[in-house]
Structure 1
Amino acid sequence: MFLCAIRDGHSRTVLGYSVADHINAEMVTTAIEAAVTARGGDCRGTVLHSDRGGEYTANLTTQACFRHGLRRSMGAAGICWDNSPAESFWSTFKHEEFYRHVYGTKTELVAAIDNWIRFYNSTRRHSKLGMRSPRDYEKSLRAAA
């Protein structure tokens, strides 16, 4: 099984995700659609950063980005440093959830991912956010505005 997650790079909130039994552009577009919906549908000018995997360079993903006005950003081939926040997220997910459990079915896996992402967004504290959860950090930004 494969997981695609779209995160807000500033608040670290997971906005949308999808799970599939193979990597493809459809799983990316499903995650994009969920992320756009989570942000109220108006994401014009938002940067979508990814690596250069075929699922991110596919025409279907390009069309989804165009439809929502997303600006695509990809690092150079073989350079991982600009994608380190995403790699940190995947490491956190694997060590806090995935490696600690055995999933008997896809349904169990998807439910566990959903629960963990809710925990990640609402409860898990992040040092980069002043030891606040992404949800609390976003609330503080709205209050300051």
Structure 2
Amino acid sequence: MPCVGFTWTWSASGCGSPGVGCGVAVCRVGGDTKTAKSRRTIALSGLAVAVLHRHRAAQTAARFAAGSSWQDSGLVFTSRVGTMLDASNVRDAFRSALTLVPGIEPAEWTPRDLRHSFASIMSERGVPLEEIRGCSATRAPP
């Protein structure tokens, strides 16, 4: 079962702005899933940086609340005790959040659906495919 994590790192560029290292903490039974070329640091908007600062503060509070149960993994998104999230935990949390959205049936959605919905909405609004690919970190077909 693959487990992919994003670690807290600070980008050398961007005047000390935080970046999120993509694919830094990747493990998979039977081998790594990322190639050297696919490992990169992504640029973050000011809004994303502000949200990550708030998230890190909340994670620090969670670490203190967990006490000795906390496992310091260095990951951005963790369980309540600092361990890497698994797919079922992420899916359950996602569906729990969807219960707050009127007219949505949470059981019909997975986190992966967001990527497809994003691309569909952008395309419907006339955004060029090249720009959509850049925003969703997908590669153009060969």
Pairwise TM-score range, normalised by the shorter structure: 0.3 to 0.5
Which protein is bigger by CA-based radius of gyration? 2
More helix, by proportion: 1
Q: TM-score, normalised by structure 2?
A: 0.34
Larger RCO: 1 or 2 (CA < 8 Å, sep 6+): 1
